[in-house]
């Protein structure tokens, strides 16, 4: 009888040991750590990548200026863990000024997304980056994750400076490739910088359509 009890206990012990040994991979999907909201904080508009393809090619506006601000107060993490703490996590460029690199991504993406807009109403866009949390090397070459992109946008009439609508907070996430998919994408020229830039080009069109359509 004692032997039978020992045999029955083996699966339970094994399962507990496996849980204890499992790495903290699930933390990569931890929720967005937003700052405590204040009375003046804009409402968040979550942009799903699948929705971006439904936007029209032509909008009744032209964009005369886009001003991108990446506050120096945003913290940067270079820690190579699955989910490091930091407002800015970016590995798509060589190590350097991450604030400037993120600003370049937004400038290039938004310029590409608005280049063919020739509507009758000139507008300007003011953008302040709130969070740009991409994936580390460790995450990218194993499980993949999410490029968590959050920014505030205000669109104004270029002639008067009047805002077309209240400032919006936009969370425009993009799935981040992992493992073999990431390696194959790099070989095909679809680097992280290329994919994020193309994504931002679609996001700005989506957001401008929302402002114009109310």
Q: What is the pLDDT of residue 192?
A: 98
Contact 106, 74 (CB under 8 A): no
Closest CA to 148 of 123, 176, 124: 176
Task: Compute CA 203 distance to the chain's CA centroid, rounded to the nearest angstrom.
Answer: 11
Topology (CATH) of 47-213: Rossmann fold (3.40.50)
Q: Give the Cα separation of 160 and 51 in Å (integer).
A: 31
What token pair was written down for 1? 């009888």
Residue recorded with tokens 């949390």: 133
Q: Give the Cα separation of 14 and 113 in Å (integer).
A: 54
For the chain, which residues make up each domain, given as ranges? 47-213
What token pair was written down for 62? 């032209």
Q: What is the pLDDT of residue 45?
A: 73
Q: Give the Cα separation of 178 and 91 in Å (integer).
A: 13
User: What angle, 0 to 180 degrees and rounded to 10, lies between the N-to-C axes of helices 192-213 and 98-114?
Assistant: 60
Q: What is the pLDDT of residue 139?
A: 97
Q: What is the pTM of this model?
A: 0.77
Closest CA to 127 of 189, 157, 170: 170
Task: Compute CA 41 distance to the chain's CA centroid, rounded to the nearest angstrom.
Answer: 19
From first to last of its 214 residues, the chain has per-residue pLDDT tens of 444 444 444 444 343 333 333 333 333 333 333 333 334 456 667 766 655 654 445 678 999 999 999 999 999 999 999 999 999 999 999 999 999 999 999 999 999 999 999 999 999 999 999 999 999 999 999 999 999 999 999 999 999 999 999 999 999 999 999 999 999 999 999 999 999 999 999 999 999 998 877 6
């Amino acid at each position: 009888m004692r032997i039978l009890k020992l045999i029955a206990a083996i699966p339970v012990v094994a399962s507990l040991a496996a849980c204890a040994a499992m790495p903290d991979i699930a933390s990569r999907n931890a929720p967005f750590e937003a700052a405590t909201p204040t009375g003046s904080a804009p409402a968040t508009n979550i942009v799903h990548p699948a929705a971006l393809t439904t936007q029209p090619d032509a909008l009744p506006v032209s964009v005369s200026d886009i001003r991108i601000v990446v506050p120096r107060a945003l913290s940067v993490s270079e820690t190579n863990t699955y989910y490091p703490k930091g407002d800015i996590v970016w590995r798509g460029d060589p190590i350097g000024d991450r604030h400037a690199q993120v600003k370049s991504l937004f400038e290039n993406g938004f310029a590409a997304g608005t280049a063919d807009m020739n509507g009758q109403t000139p507008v300007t866009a003011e953008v302040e980056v709130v969070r740009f949390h991409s994936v580390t090397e460790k995450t990218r070459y194993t499980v993949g994750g999410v490029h968590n992109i959050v920014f505030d946008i205000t669109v104004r009439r270029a002639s008067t400076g009047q805002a077309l609508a209240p400032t919006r907070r936009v969370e425009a996430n993009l799935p981040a490739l992992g493992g073999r998919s990431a390696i194959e994408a790099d070989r095909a020229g679809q680097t992280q910088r290329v994919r994020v830039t193309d994504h931002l080009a679609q996001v700005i069109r989506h957001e401008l359509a929302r402002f114009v359509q109310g």
